[in-house]
Amino acid sequence: MTKIKNLDKVYSRVQKATHYCGGELNSVIKNPEDVQIRYAFAFPDTYEVGMSHLGMKILYHILNQREDTYCERVFAPWIDMEEEMRKESIPLFTNETQTPVKEFDFLGITLQYEMCYSNILNMLSLADIPLLASERGEDDPFVNGGGPCAYNSEPIADFFDFFTIGEGEEVIGELMDAFKEWKKEGGKRADYLKKIAKIDGIYVPSLYDVTYNEDGTIKSMSPNCPEAKEKIRKRIISDLDSVVYPDKFIVPFSGIVHDRANIEVFRGCIRGCRFCQAGMIYRPVREKSADTLVNDACALINSTGYEEMGLSSLSTSDYTDLQNLADRLLALTEKEKVSLSLPSLRVDNFSLDLMERVQKVRKSGLTFAPEAGSQRMRDVINKNVSEEDLIKSATLAFEGGWNSVKLYFMIGLPYEEYDDIKGIADLSEKVVDCYYNSEKTNKRRPVSVTLSVASFVPKPFTPFQWAAQDSMETLYEKQLFLKENIRNRKIRYNYHQNDISVLEGVFARGDRRLSKVLLRAHELGCKLDGWNECFDLEKWKRAFSDCGIDMNFYTRARSYDEILPWDIIDIGVSREFMKNENEKARLASVTPNCREKCSGCGAASLCKTKKGCVCFE
């Protein structure tokens, strides 16, 4: 194990040494000599973002429960740290033991959003690991990807040895066992990859060949060896009550984005919004019982001392046993003087009573997500929320003492007309009116309605995966149009950078040929693209033009018979269902949620037990 020199000197020169030096409460300390497998778990963004991520906490815990494995963390260094590292020739190292990442057996990288791809290349280069999987030697770590972007990993396929598709709790153990076996057998690097290609949920991109048609679309994508499966089916945990959940979270010294004890209430979402990838790839809905959740909460409060507790899921108010859970959690948190935060509440089943009990003292802002301005458009995206729902919820909130609400919308959705965009302005206006029309609000306090308007990005494995994405110019026009239509000064309008949305869309639905662009962008210095101070669209444009690749090819509409780069992955939800949902969107026809009526998407077949799963309620 190499000891890195000059670290203390470097730490004293950077702004946030605690992001690199480890030693946080509950971080795992093992003697590296005592283990057979060393796993570096990377979040390809900064510490404060990465440390907020639940998936990393879960897998860190599970890997470190194994006596034969030591899992350590690594993050993208901030600009000041990277400069110092390059100056002092310090390679990328882990937080726990300051070991160079290159010396690990595995480098696992979680893929949460497309705009972190440049960080992956930068981290590999800092680690002195060959960027291309094909150029790695026998001593290099296996680079493994997982998380939502692994569902279409083609744009980064050349940089990874393999991907884990779906939930990692079980499969990661199988990968470690296979590693030990392979070591014993004395196999070569390629042998391990062929060995794990047989494990369900493992995708080894080098075992597949892709050919293209003259128009640039994919002609075929097929295995080039007998070990590789025709299709890779995602892995899920059937019974969430029986799977391990960390009883300890690492408590960072410095503040992070979500600095609290989080318990995971359920996975999946009953709603089926047609733009939402999470709502499809995490199907079916599986809930934890209130008993398990209260136990998780107790353990975390005791082991972390956190003053805040959060519930994590895609739509907390859809939890079937919410009232009971909330009662029991509130009893616990009040006793321990811990505040409880409830994110992701829906407009149609918003309970003021619950909000008030949770936020006894502070009336922080409330956020509602109608997503689209007109009823027609909300039906197109299957949001299943009415104007009446929103008006009712906003009125309740205002009468309950809140005087500021935030509304989330999207523009650039498929089948969108300018009238739908105007609908955003009209609806926001009506929310302002709620405040003044009610007799119970305090008119001396000013009301404020903040609009957050994001540009729609079509994602793989959604009914809108075939849709065209608006160009930067069109999105800009639509934003200006919306701005012109907002006349009320109580409404504040924030919009997301649309150039980053287009880039995100290109990589979300991209194919293997985009790896060239990523390599070029890395050469040009692209990194930390999720940070405004670092993102540089011009560099990205240059990378595309230097490689002779047209972004428009990737933003265009696809036909149903085109082979999509992610067709090799099976998420358990059928292509027929997606197609049908897209056709219904065209007609602005809605689909009931999973709890009202099963729409036969196919996800039920993924579950091995019926307990806690919405498909068998």
Partner 1 sequence: MNNNYYLRYEKTEKTKYVSHLDFVRMFGRAMRRAHLPIAFSEGFNPHPLLTFALPLSVGYTSECEILEIVLSEVVSPDEIMERLNAVLPDGVRILSAHTGKSNMKKLDIAHYEVYPEKTPSGIIDFLLMKEIFIEKKTKSGIKEVDIRPDIKDIKVSLGKIEMILSAGSRANLKPEVVIAAMNKYITGYKSGDCRYHRKQIFDAEMNVI
Which residues of this protein are in contact with partner 1, per CB under 8 A? 8-9, 11-12, 17-18, 21, 23-25, 251, 253-255, 301-307, 336-337, 361-362
Distance of alpha carbon 281 from alpha carbon 526, whole angstroms: 29
Closer residue to partner 1, CB minimum distance, 80 or 617 = 80
Q: Which residues contact 301 (CB under 8 A, 6 or more apart)?
A: 261, 309, 332, 333, 336, 338
Quote the least distance from Cβ 333 to partner 1, whole Å.
12
Quote the least distance from Cβ 95 to partner 1, whole Å.
12
Distance of alpha carbon 544 from alpha carbon 565, whole angstroms: 19
Distance of alpha carbon 547 from alpha carbon 248, whole angstroms: 47
Question: Could you tell me the two tokens for 516?
Answer: 């060239």
Quote the least distance from Cβ 27 to partner 1, whole Å.
9
Judge whether 325 and 309 are in contact, CB under 8 Å.
no
Quote the least distance from Cβ 11 to partner 1, whole Å.
6
Quote the least distance from Cβ 93 to partner 1, whole Å.
16
Closer residue to partner 1, CB minimum distance, 9 or 198 = 9
Quote the least distance from Cβ 297 to partner 1, whole Å.
14
Using CA atoms of 8, 13, 19, 24 in order, give the dihedral in degrees to the nearest 10: 40
Quote the least distance from Cβ 250 to partner 1, whole Å.
10
3 state SS for 462-522: CCCCCCCCCCHHHHHHHHHHHHHHCCCCCEEEEECCHHHHHHHHHHHCCCCCHHHHHHHHH
Quote the least distance from Cβ 224 to partner 1, whole Å.
50
Closer residue to partner 1, CB minimum distance, 16 or 492 = 16
H-helix or E-strand containing 143? strand 142-146
Nearest Cα to 56, choosing from 215, 252, 344, 231? 252
Closer residue to partner 1, CB minimum distance, 95 or 485 = 95
Closer residue to partner 1, CB minimum distance, 215 or 361 = 361
Distance of alpha carbon 113 from alpha carbon 278, whole angstroms: 12
Quote the least distance from Cβ 253 to partner 1, whole Å.
5
| Residue 458 CA: distances (Å) to CA of 412, 413, 469, 555, 559 | 10, 8, 7, 9, 14
Closer residue to partner 1, CB minimum distance, 86 or 360 = 360
CB atoms within 10 A of CB 347: 23
Quote the least distance from Cβ 338 to partner 1, whole Å.
8
Distance of alpha carbon 259 from alpha carbon 573, whole angstroms: 34
Closer residue to partner 1, CB minimum distance, 25 or 331 = 25
Q: Which residues contact 51 (CB under 8 A, 6 or more apart)?
A: 43, 75, 250, 252, 256
Nearest Cα to 190, choosing from 167, 224, 220? 224
In 7-78, where does DSSP find H-type helix? Answer: 7-13, 47-50, 54-65
Closer residue to partner 1, CB minimum distance, 301 or 526 = 301
Judge whether 154 and 511 are in contact, CB under 8 Å.
yes
In 348-457, where does DSSP find H-type helix? Answer: 352-358, 375-380, 387-399, 418-437
Closer residue to partner 1, CB minimum distance, 304 or 384 = 304
Closer residue to partner 1, CB minimum distance, 239 or 336 = 336
Please list, residue by residue across 144-179, b when 16 or more beta carbons sit within 10 angstroms of its beta carbon and e when fewer do: bbbbbbbbbbbbbbbbbbbbbbbbbbbbbebbbebb
Closer residue to partner 1, CB minimum distance, 302 or 437 = 302
Quote the least distance from Cβ 30 to partner 1, whole Å.
14
Quote the least distance from Cβ 287 to partner 1, whole Å.
29
Distance of alpha carbon 594 from alpha carbon 601, whole angstroms: 10
Closer residue to partner 1, CB minimum distance, 13 or 584 = 13
Closer residue to partner 1, CB minimum distance, 362 or 489 = 362
Nearest Cα to 232, choosing from 143, 156, 163? 163
Q: Which residues contact 160 (CB under 8 A, 6 or more apart)?
A: 109, 133, 143, 144, 145, 153, 205
Quote the least distance from Cβ 300 to partner 1, whole Å.
11
Question: Could you tell me the two tokens for 211?
Answer: 């050919």
The secondary structure of residue 551, as a DSSP letter, is H
Judge whether 269 and 293 are in contact, CB under 8 Å.
no
Quote the least distance from Cβ 17 to partner 1, whole Å.
4
Burial class (CB in 10 A: 0-12, 13-18, 19+), 125: middle
Closer residue to partner 1, CB minimum distance, 13 or 611 = 13
